[in-house]
Structure 1
Amino acid sequence: MASLTIRKLDDAIRDELRLRAARNGRSVEDEVRVILREASQDGLKTDARFPQDAPDPENSRKPLKNIGDQLRVTLIIGGGIAAYKALDLIRRLKERGIHVRVVLTRAAQQFVTPLAASALSNERAYTDLFDPQSEFDAGHIRLARECDLIVVAPATADLMAKMANGHADDLASAILLAADKPILVAPAMNPLMWNNAATRRNVGQLQRDGVRMIGPNAGEMAERNEAGVGRMAEPTEIAIAAHTFLRPPRAQPLAGKRVLITAGPTHEPIDPVRYIANRSSGKQGYAIAAAARAAGAEVILVSGPVDLDEVPGVSMTHVESARDMLAAVQAALPVDIAIFAAAVADWRVVNEGAQKLKKTAGNAMPPLQLTENPDILATISKLSEHRPPLVIGFAAETEHLIDNAKAKIARKGCDWIVANDVSPATGIMGGDDNTVHLLTRSTDSADIAVDSWAPMSKEQVATTLVARIADTVTQSTKDQS
């Protein structure tokens, strides 16, 4: 059989050939022979000399992928309970257009499976240093070199010790030792392990070696009654850090601007135990705060009760009731932009019980007299002094979405309304995705324009909204100059 020599091959096609050959247990040369054989057979069948795509002869029959200029991350998942968060991290990286290859340590496979990682990354997950399908051409070297960044999440104390001391006794540590690309580490371990003198020495050595770190965060541990510094940074934080490192933000269009954002629900007490609330998670408001901060703004986030981590670099004010939120908003003025994403309770109980209301046999339920809460959006929109130049409200509706949103923008006096359908079937309230319509009011007429956006993640909604705000602010500045 004649030997094959191929020169001047595109890097992306070369990488794909290697991956495909490893997946099929063949050498690259044999893989090329298979492709040529299949192409020739297809050409004879279709009377076409060269087929457009070279199909996979055994499995998916998909054409070779060309990832071109797409950013590439090798994600190493260490063996800790936080490994389950790494699956969400794969998704968060892919949302940012990053191609992900996953490596799992032996311990990591006790918490997540290679199948799950493969399904989310759309790539084979790598686990074994001595895997004949990938190591026939030093696969660990390719995994170390054929990427733009290596992310280790979670990075256990053991894995960090191996990194600091140059061990290479498994696939993950061999990749890390062979790496000539930047490394981002997200430590995760018990607080006692994090504060151990050996771990501190290893951390110091890794930092001197140029390894970048994100976290760990403070909070509750998996172990009962354990809390402190040691929680792995949240997947969104790691994905943002990775994307920012790979593609540093060049422009900060909201630099010098002061942005006020409200988020989450409010809790209106009935008695010391019970309250009136809604199902808002606060995710959209927090995402907008992160996007505004990334755009260079000084951000004040007034948040109702939510189960979310604080946004890095943002001034946080936590409140409970609608009246508390209004007071915090007024205290933050003046601002350049105000975005009211909070789902504020419309009513509160007139006479809050000083003690828990008791249910007694034979007695009717105690009456709850309700009164209307202050309208934060309308109050700020109609200020005669210190009104923000751009006031944006949210309209969460379950029916007649656009009609109700148009009525709200006119009634409240705000400049823009972000409207979304929060019917239970949509899964938007409390979910990760959103479908919004941006209503904007013309400054020189009563016309209201409606811009309907495609379904996207709440982070993407936030980024798109902040970009639209930045364009408007920039244009306004030009018009005034």
Structure 2
Amino acid sequence: MLSGKRIVLGVTGGIAAYKAAFLLRAFQKAEAQVRVTMTPSALQFVGSDTFSSLSRHAVAVDIFPGNQSDKNQWTRHISWGEWADLFVIAPCTANTMAKIAGGFSDNMLTATVLSARCPLLVCPTMDGEMYRSAAVKRNLATLRGDGIHILEPEAGYLASGLEGRGRLPETEMILEECRAILEEQQLRGLLSGKKVVVTAGPTREFIDPVRFISNPSSGKMGFAMAEAARTMGGEVTVIHGPVHIPKPGGVDTIEIVSTDELFEQVKAHADADVIIMAAAVADFTPESPAEQKIKKNDDASSLKLSRTPDILSWLGHHKREGQTLIGFAMETENMVEYAQKKRESKKADWIAANSIADHNSGFGTDTNTVTLLGENVRQDFSGTKKDVARQLLDRIFNTG
């Protein structure tokens, strides 16, 4: 995936700047072409000669360099921005991140960011509690909202001697993220012009004002499917239950709580071209929720339940021509058998099945192992939930 790709590597003024030299060499070993731009502060940690020697190309630092022998140097941010297939800033300090979020272009690196017509990957690094500060959180949210990729820093021993989050991830992790981003680029356009609805997270069925029936769904898989659909050009609406993770950028979101609320919203958006039912929907609801909190000394010792609407089945039996319906199935045993029966009985086009028995798969995890079932199709996918989401949609829409 990296072979032959043209990468601009941005280096900013943090202690991890020296690690960028190892990253550059890793890109080259993967047969990518690399050019380097540095902020003036980065020169306090690593000299530009290091990167020019390794990249065999002049390093861009100042918009108006002192050496005027090349009168086109001041437009280098334009030519590099058009040349690159991927722009990676590693490490990226809080200062540079704030400049990018605000659209500032006071050095060659930040000017090239504005000129770039390729994906941008930012690898934030900082010390102490800086990464937890309100300003950094706001800037991260802005960057994500602008479609910029963020690779979260690792936790560990920092330059100050403190323990915390702020370390530059290992080189191979950065390479893996770069490959994933470039893979996304190849998938762009698969859902262009399509309306996509994704459901995500849990539903809650209240027993009384303070207790409810629910499940541990975090919404991560549903949000990953929404991000993948958006990347592929879809016009995405996410209908989600109560979650505590950042919402995907560039999509419309609708918050619900109960299964009935989810059903109403799904019916209102049932004309979508693609519907992905990734929400973990409660199958039962109390028949008579208490208006006040039930006390421990109350006589009631049983709870009468009724079934909630089967939303996937309703969609399958009301599916219009040309619509694609994708369901999810979480099982504890006989996963493929039960999921295949679910696909057939509910008239879904595809079912993505996974087992809660695997500790690296299912509720709350960042990774997943999924078996995709379709008409005469069975295929396994594994990786991060973002990777799996891309793989699923690629299989469904790129190869039928």
- TM-score, length-scaled by structure 2: 0.64
- Larger C-alpha radius of gyration, 1 or 2? 1
Partner of 1:461: 388
Partner of 2:225: 288
**Cα distance in 1 for residues equivalent to 2:148 and 2:217:** 19
Aligned positions of 1:237-256 closer than 5 A: 237-238=149-150, 248-249=185-186, 252-256=189-193
One-letter amino acid of the counterpart of residue 379, structure 1: W
One-letter amino acid of the counterpart of residue 203, structure 1: F
Q: CA offsets per residue over residues 60-118 of structure 1, 9 Å max, x none?
A: xxxxxxx85366564647669xx9xx9xxx9xx99xx998x999x9x99xxxxxxxxxx
Query: What displacement does 1:428 show?
Result: 3.0
Identity score, percent: 31
Aligned positions of 1:66-215 closer than 5 A: 68-69=3-4, 74=9, 76=11, 128-129=45-46, 138-142=49-53, 203=104, 205=106, 209-212=111-114
Structure 2: runs of 5 or more not aligned: 66-75, 82-86, 123-130, 152-176
Equivalent pair of 1:144/1:181 in contact (CA under 8 Å): no
Equivalent pair of 1:333/1:386 in contact (CA under 8 Å): no
Equivalent pair of 1:263/1:342 in contact (CA under 8 Å): yes
Aligned positions of 1:17-56 closer than 5 A: none
Query: What displacement does 1:460 show?
Result: 2.1
Partner of 1:395: 329
One-letter amino acid of the counterpart of residue 205, structure 1: D
**Cα distance in 1 for residues equivalent to 2:322 and 2:50:** 57
Query: What displacement does 1:387 show?
Result: 6.8
Partner of 1:121: none
Query: What displacement does 1:331 show?
Result: 0.7
| RMSD after superposition | 5.0
**Cα distance in 1 for residues equivalent to 2:207 and 2:394:** 41
Q: Select which of 295, 304, 307 maps to 1:369.
A: 304
| SS of alignment partner, residue 211 of structure 1 | helix
Equivalent pair of 2:203/2:282 in contact (CA under 8 Å): yes
Query: What displacement does 1:304 show?
Result: 1.5
Residue 337 (str. 1) matches residue 274 (str. 2)? yes
Query: What displacement does 1:165 show?
Result: 10
Number of positions where the alignment pairs a residue of Structure 1 with one of Structure 2: 331
> For the structure 1 residues 380 and 72, does the alpha-carbon distance in structure 2 shift closer, same or farther, using more than 3 Å as the test?
same
> For the structure 1 residues 250 and 438, does the alpha-carbon distance in structure 2 shift closer, same or farther, using more than 3 Å as the test?
closer
Partner of 1:61: none
**Cα distance in 1 for residues equivalent to 2:292 and 2:235:** 41
**Cα distance in 2 for residues equivalent to 1:273 and 1:258:** 37
> For the structure 1 residues 435 and 209, does the alpha-carbon distance in structure 2 shift closer, same or farther, using more than 3 Å as the test?
closer
Equivalent pair of 1:289/1:301 in contact (CA under 8 Å): yes
Partner of 1:379: 314
Equivalent pair of 1:269/1:275 in contact (CA under 8 Å): yes
Partner of 1:404: 338
| SS of alignment partner, residue 325 of structure 1 | helix
**Cα distance in 1 for residues equivalent to 2:57 and 2:227:** 31
Q: CA offsets per residue over residues 290-338 of structure 1, 9 Å max, x none?
A: 2222222222221122223222222211211111111111111212221
**Cα distance in 1 for residues equivalent to 2:31 and 2:249:** 22
Query: What displacement does 1:145 show?
Result: 6.5
Equivalent pair of 2:284/2:306 in contact (CA under 8 Å): yes
Indicate the structure whose relative CO is greater, using CA pairs within 8 Å and at least 6 residues apart: 2
| SS of alignment partner, residue 455 of structure 1 | strand
Equivalent pair of 1:401/1:420 in contact (CA under 8 Å): yes
> For the structure 1 residues 146 and 304, does the alpha-carbon distance in structure 2 shift closer, same or farther, using more than 3 Å as the test?
farther
| SS of alignment partner, residue 230 of structure 1 | helix
**Cα distance in 1 for residues equivalent to 2:259 and 2:364:** 20
> For the structure 1 residues 270 and 241, does the alpha-carbon distance in structure 2 shift closer, same or farther, using more than 3 Å as the test?
farther
Equivalent pair of 1:334/1:388 in contact (CA under 8 Å): no
| SS of alignment partner, residue 269 of structure 1 | strand
One-letter amino acid of the counterpart of residue 392, structure 2: L
| SS of alignment partner, residue 139 of structure 2 | strand
Residue 222 (str. 1) matches residue 123 (str. 2)? no
**Cα distance in 1 for residues equivalent to 2:350 and 2:228:** 18
> For the structure 1 residues 332 and 388, does the alpha-carbon distance in structure 2 shift closer, same or farther, using more than 3 Å as the test?
farther
> For the structure 1 residues 298 and 69, does the alpha-carbon distance in structure 2 shift closer, same or farther, using more than 3 Å as the test?
same
